[in-house]
Structure 1
Amino acid sequence: MTTSQTNTLDLLNSLDLGKPPAQTRVVVAMSGGVDSSVVAGLLKEQGYDVIGVTMQLYDHGEIEHRPGSCCAGQDIYDARQAADLIGIPHYVLNYEQNFRAKVIDAFAQSYADGETPIPCVTCNSQIKFIDLFDMARDLGADILATGHYIASRPDGDDGGRALYRALDPDRDQSYFLFSTTREQLRLLRFPLGEMSKPEVRDHARRFGLGVAEKPDSQDICFVPTGRYSDLVEKLAPRAATPGEIVHVDGRVLGQHAGVMNYTIGQRKGLGLGASASVGGEPLYVVKIDAAHARVTVGPREALSTKRVTLRDVNWIGPGALDQALGREIAARVRSTRPPAPAVMTRRGDEIVVEFVEGESGVAPGQACVFYEDSGPRARVLGGGFIRSAESAQEEPAIARKRA
């Protein structure tokens, strides 16, 4: 086989489709950042029929642009400029109403319930991979491509896909994509999953994109100046109800101005002054009881969690979820934390994840994401949102299951 033939086959198979790029329409979700702009540029360069689509998710007149935001104001302009330079059609779609109802309102309500929400996951599952999918189909697209750092590979002979952690561990976004369904994976592609961030910026410079040095987007893109408590108080006033700060031993240490100002594992800004430590040991938020407006604090060891109960579990691993019960997997309870050995079980209708060793600072509302193992390129098996967490101090952690 000649080099020319090999290159042609590489192009034919770059999206794992059985037809030439020129006959393959790809809609690229362009946020106005460097990652999605490079995806559009690379696919156009490979000969695909590329259309850029940008979602306007909130009113950029009300929420000012700041470095690290996306999907409003300057970001829409940047996406349009990138599309013009690459030479592809570009459309702006207004999803403000859906985004407000499904993401912003839900974000505020979650804080009012004493949780620590992840709006990025909700945006992916409720907006990008539903509303944007519908638009991609309306445009006759074969594929929807995004700038997420996660790998997608064929799984079986039926067109199924499997997700894997990204090549660049510092950029891996698998934690935020656990709720992607099997059906969605068939139409999704993530071209940056096998690339590093420096490589992406090099491509942006090669294409001459003005966003080549643009800062990365942040999770809570719709919060002006990063003060999420102002937004939460406006949309869910009960989250600002004053209450007691109590020690795990029952002592009342002080008062707070609303549970929205606290998250599990928080150490600074407790509002306790000289009482922010007991016996010389710093105190951490270990529990939030929104119903009674009570924040419980304690020593670091009180943060250790042995078991979490999940809601809205999504399984995209091989076979059925029940086939994985009782077997050791790896579970990740924070985007900044590596997957840890754990075992999934079922308690009634709920899925429970028990850690081989205690995990620290587990917060209801965050995600617990399942992986095949703790390796850097491990397959993503799914995950769920943490409904509740049980302290590791109640009983010893489970013993590691041995092969």
Structure 2
Amino acid sequence: MALDTDIPLNSLGLAKPPSETRVVVAMSGGVDSSVVAAHLAQAGYDVVGVTLQLYDHGAALAKKGACCAGIDIHDARRVAEERGFPHYVLDYENIFKDAVIDEFADSYLAGATPVPCIRCNERVKFKDLLETARDLEADCMATGHYIQRKIGPHGPELHRAVDANRDQSYFLFSTTREQLEYLRFPLGHLPSKEATRAMAADYGLAVADKPDSQDICFVPNGNYASVIEKLRPGAAEPGEIVHADGRVLGTHEGVIHYTIGQRRGLGIGGLAEPLYVVKLDVNKKQVVVGPKELLSTRIIPVREINWLGDEPFESRAAWHLSVKVRSTRPPREAIVRPLSPTTAEVELLTPEEGVSPGQACVFYETEGTRVFGGGWIWRGY
């Protein structure tokens, strides 16, 4: 299956022949970005592959399913060699630690549930790497993300991927208008991941059957607490597990071992009713539990909003949109009331369970595929 060539001019929407169009491809070493690079090279573009070393790749070699690790650097380099375009590895370990890992640790210790993949796109890939692409005199930068960039009456717009199961718009809501002018997402229109793998096989790429990356790249096996304990030794302090009605039900070894909505592994067996974590009180070192109905949330304060609408965010008293409060949840209809250019109150028409500070609240067109940006959920009032 060919990639998107509906845009006039060349297939990337630029007024020059492919051979005179330099494209930096962000190559993670996985099948998606490898297909993007191979396709653009075959189409005659002046491709430059760039892979970021984000953390100690020697240690990461032992972790299956990690991205930006040692084996992935090798795989990206191999694709470049076989397809005949230059490839560079950039050491971004310090930048990644300062911009992503440290905030992840601090947010987690503050009782939030951070999404470091969004910060990585925002602060590393679409900031420092994008500037590197400009320094290399590239006309644009392409990635293997499953999201669509479409040209609307007011310029480029962000849209969900055709394949809802692969859509990565939740992780890219903070992409700015300026970045969107420069970025390209050639996989967003494909019907499935199987189509991508078929293209990889057609190009003879060794990564065609490579497993997808799992979990957060620097968190082995999804064990957040162990990573936090390494990053912030001694930060996990014991405290009480308290019922929402005030009863002390037990003790815990650190708030970092719990997340909002958690039911299993609470260490307070023998109770008649099923209980869930409904609040993490870091100051009191308390894990607050209660019945499932206490997880239901209708009003959500949101800040650090990146707005991608055609009209100014504050031009209306309220926007009727759909919002996503977790990457695994479908968009739900909501009323978004601007409080400032970067803050809002979001009222869900149908309450959601397990809404957690530190997660993103992403704005969508109620009927259609357009992404209107979003912001970060916080405790607020």
- TM-score (ref. length: structure 2): 0.94
The answer to whether the 8 A contact 2:60-2:66 is kept is no
Identity across aligned pairs (percent)? Answer: 57
2:326 matches 1:334: yes
2:297 matches 1:302: no
Q: Specify whether residues 65 and 162 from structure 1 end up closer, same or farther in structure 2 by C-alpha distance, changes over 3 A only.
A: farther
What's the counterpart of residue 355 of structure 1?
348
CA–CA distance in structure 2, aligned partners of residues 224 and 187 of structure 1 = 33
Q: Specify whether residues 106 and 125 from structure 1 end up closer, same or farther in structure 2 by C-alpha distance, changes over 3 A only.
A: same
Q: CA deviation at 1:13?
A: 3.5
What's the counterpart of residue 230 of structure 2?
234
What's the counterpart of residue 308 of structure 2?
316
Q: CA deviation at 1:318?
A: 1.4
Candidates 348, 366, 369, aligned match of 1:378: 369
Instruction: Report 1:191-270 matches (<5 A).
Output: 191-195=186-190, 196-237=192-233, 239-270=235-266
CA–CA distance in structure 2, aligned partners of residues 144 and 350 of structure 1 = 30
The answer to whether the 8 A contact 2:304-2:343 is kept is no
Candidates 33, 36, 45, aligned match of 1:36: 33
What's the counterpart of residue 91 of structure 1?
88
2:111 matches 1:114: yes
What's the counterpart of residue 163 of structure 1?
158
Candidates 280, 283, 308, aligned match of 1:291: 283
CA–CA distance in structure 1, aligned partners of residues 122 and 221 of structure 2 = 25
CA–CA distance in structure 2, aligned partners of residues 337 and 234 of structure 1 = 31
Q: Specify whether residues 11 and 53 from structure 1 end up closer, same or farther in structure 2 by C-alpha distance, changes over 3 A only.
A: farther
Instruction: Report 1:44-63 matches (<5 A).
Output: 44-63=41-60
The answer to whether the 8 A contact 1:98-1:127 is kept is yes
Q: CA deviation at 1:233?
A: 1.3
Instruction: Report 1:274-289 matches (<5 A).
Output: 274-275=270-271, 279=272, 281-289=273-281
The number of equivalent residue pairs is: 376
Q: SS in structure 1 opposite 2:133?
A: helix
Candidates 162, 180, 183, aligned match of 2:178: 183
CA–CA distance in structure 2, aligned partners of residues 8 and 336 of structure 1 = 30
Q: SS in structure 1 opposite 2:64?
A: coil
Question: Which letter does structure 2 place at the counterpart of 1:175?
Answer: Y
Q: Specify whether residues 245 and 300 from structure 1 end up closer, same or farther in structure 2 by C-alpha distance, changes over 3 A only.
A: same
CA–CA distance in structure 2, aligned partners of residues 244 and 64 of structure 1 = 38
Candidates 320, 337, 348, aligned match of 1:345: 337
The answer to whether the 8 A contact 1:34-1:211 is kept is yes
Q: CA deviation at 1:122?
A: 0.4
What's the counterpart of residue 123 of structure 1?
120
Question: Which letter does structure 1 place at the counterpart of 2:90?
Answer: L
Q: Specify whether residues 297 and 326 from structure 1 end up closer, same or farther in structure 2 by C-alpha distance, changes over 3 A only.
A: same
Q: Specify whether residues 68 and 389 from structure 1 end up closer, same or farther in structure 2 by C-alpha distance, changes over 3 A only.
A: farther
Q: CA deviation at 1:10?
A: 6.5
Q: SS in structure 1 opposite 2:58?
A: coil
CA–CA distance in structure 2, aligned partners of residues 239 and 343 of structure 1 = 38
Give the unaligned 5+ runs of structure 1.
Answer: 1-6, 391-403
Instruction: Report 1:139-150 matches (<5 A).
Output: 139-150=136-147
Deviations 1:28-74 (A, max 9, x none): 00000000000001111221111100000000223443222011210
Q: CA deviation at 1:219?
A: 4.1
Q: CA deviation at 1:389?
A: 7.2
CA–CA distance in structure 2, aligned partners of residues 204 and 184 of structure 1 = 27
Give the unaligned 5+ runs of structure 2.
Answer: none
Deviations 1:186-218 (A, max 9, x none): 000000000121110000001111111111113
Q: SS in structure 1 opposite 2:378?
A: strand
Q: Specify whether residues 324 and 27 from structure 1 end up closer, same or farther in structure 2 by C-alpha distance, changes over 3 A only.
A: farther
What's the counterpart of residue 68 of structure 2?
71
The answer to whether the 8 A contact 1:28-1:39 is kept is yes
What's the counterpart of residue 101 of structure 2?
104
Q: SS in structure 1 opposite 2:69?
A: coil
CA–CA distance in structure 2, aligned partners of residues 352 and 150 of structure 1 = 26
Deviations 1:351-379 (A, max 9, x none): 11111111111010000000011x5x520
Q: Specify whether residues 59 and 385 from structure 1 end up closer, same or farther in structure 2 by C-alpha distance, changes over 3 A only.
A: same
CA–CA distance in structure 2, aligned partners of residues 332 and 43 of structure 1 = 33
Q: Specify whether residues 111 and 205 from structure 1 end up closer, same or farther in structure 2 by C-alpha distance, changes over 3 A only.
A: same
The answer to whether the 8 A contact 2:255-2:285 is kept is yes
Q: Specify whether residues 165 and 337 from structure 1 end up closer, same or farther in structure 2 by C-alpha distance, changes over 3 A only.
A: same
Using the TM superposition, name which of 37-46 and 217-226 deviates more: 217-226
Q: Which stretches of structure 1, 4 residues or more, deviate above 4 A after TM superposition?
A: 7-11
